[in-house]
Amino acid sequence: MTTSLGFGAFVSDWCRRAPELVEAVRNTAIDKLADEMARTRGQGGRVPFDTGNLARSIQASTSAMPTTAAGPFSGSNVGAVTATLKSDQDIWIGYQAAYARRMNYGFVGADSLGRVYNQAGNYFVEGAILQWRSFVAESIREIQMAAGPMKP
């Protein structure tokens, strides 16, 4: 029986009996979330693609939200961070590309250089977050299959 709507509510009894499996499920689901946050339209996602720089700018940190930086970006570090992430550690996932916010939420108006925009939002962050439950469910199945049956 589950008592909250958080991460624990979606973890099966099988995983709750083994804390290391819960950690594996959580970290695998985080990897899936980050993959979706970087999935371009051409790959079936929501991230617009021009040069691929936005999708490659996704980064993870265990200390703070990744800051924006000048590109080009070489790729995500999320898998490297989740490979050592403990269940009691927080994780932040964000984009380094300075224009990521505009691409996600859209922008109407003039920028600091006086250029006028009427750009619709793509909502790729929200689209990925809405899939969290399915990422957890997929991760549970994958970890269960990899770990094999538990002894009573």
Domain count for the chain, please give it: 1
CB atoms inside a 10 Å sphere around CB 76: 20
For residue 115, being part of any structural domain is answered with yes
Where b means 16+ CB within 10 Å and e means fewer, 109-123 reads eeeeeeeeeeeeebe
The pLDDT value recorded for residue 148 is 72
Are 101 and 126 in contact by the 8 Å Cβ rule? The answer is no
* 97-152 pLDDT, tens digit each: 999 999 999 999 998 899 999 999 999 999 999 999 999 999 999 998 887 765 55
The two beta strands, 92-95 and 58-61, are antiparallel
Full-model pTM: 0.83
For residue 152, being part of any structural domain is answered with no
For residue 1, being part of any structural domain is answered with no
* 37-59 pLDDT, tens digit each: 999 999 999 999 999 999 999 99
The residue range of the domain holding 12 is 7-147
For residue 135, being part of any structural domain is answered with yes
